[in-house]
Structure 1
Amino acid sequence: MTTFDDRERAFEAKFARDEDMAFRVTARRNRLLGQWAAARLNLTPEETDAYAKAVVQADFEEAGDEDVIRKLLGDLLAAGVEIDDASVRRALEEKSVEARRQLMGEA
């Protein structure tokens, strides 16, 4: 029974690590997306930091990425930046890869 218990604990620990890493990648990705959008909005460094934090917060509105995409697209279009949904989604994918690379480099 001990072997089974050890395996179960190991599986639970791996699951917890994987979930933690997924959360950290998503949060980093959203911060990078906020910085990407802030550059298109010509924000100051202080405004960029605040905006990146707002994008991270926007991800807690609902499950999935639609809340972040909606925020970015709405803010960019409201500011007169010519951009479409596909461009925002492409940036989301690119920043996801970049966030994962950054976090793997830290490990």
Structure 2
Amino acid sequence: MTTFDNREKAFEDKFAYDAETAFRIAARRNRLLGLWAAEQMKLTPEEADAYAKAVVQADFEEAGDDDVIRKLVGDLTAAGIDVTDHAVRRALEEKTVEARRQLLESK
């Protein structure tokens, strides 16, 4: 392999690693968000776990975070909890930081 080939392979490997890491952080963040919302709705531990999985699954519907935010706002509102889009976005940001920290600590 030439030096150019080695650099290209290294770049591709780094890109794949970064994409996988971003995916893992988003999935962990969504699970944490689901648990946060479940706590707000006073769900049982079993219901909270199932709900967190549903929030992770909701992220696969479209690109970006809007699908997750819509789900959380809709579910919390349906449960009689007064929540704003802004509050959910703030929780999303907080859980992103927490998910990144957890992922980095587990390595």
Q: Equivalent residue for 1:68?
A: 68
Q: Residue type of the partner of 1:27?
A: A
CA distance in 1, matches of 2:26, 2:48: 18
TM superposition score normalised by structure 2: 0.99
Q: Which runs of 5+ in 2 are unaligned?
A: none
CA distance in 2, matches of 1:61, 1:6: 37
Q: Equivalent residue for 2:88?
A: 88
Q: Which runs of 5+ in 1 are unaligned?
A: none
Cα distance, 1:32 vs. partner? Answer: 0.1
CA distance in 1, matches of 2:22, 2:83: 28
CA RMSD of aligned residues (A): 0.7
Identity of aligned residues (%): 73
TM superposition score normalised by structure 1: 0.99
Q: Equivalent residue for 2:49?
A: 49
Q: Equivalent residue for 2:10?
A: 10
Runs of 4+ in structure 1 deviating by more than 4 angstroms, as ranges, are none
Aligned residues: 107
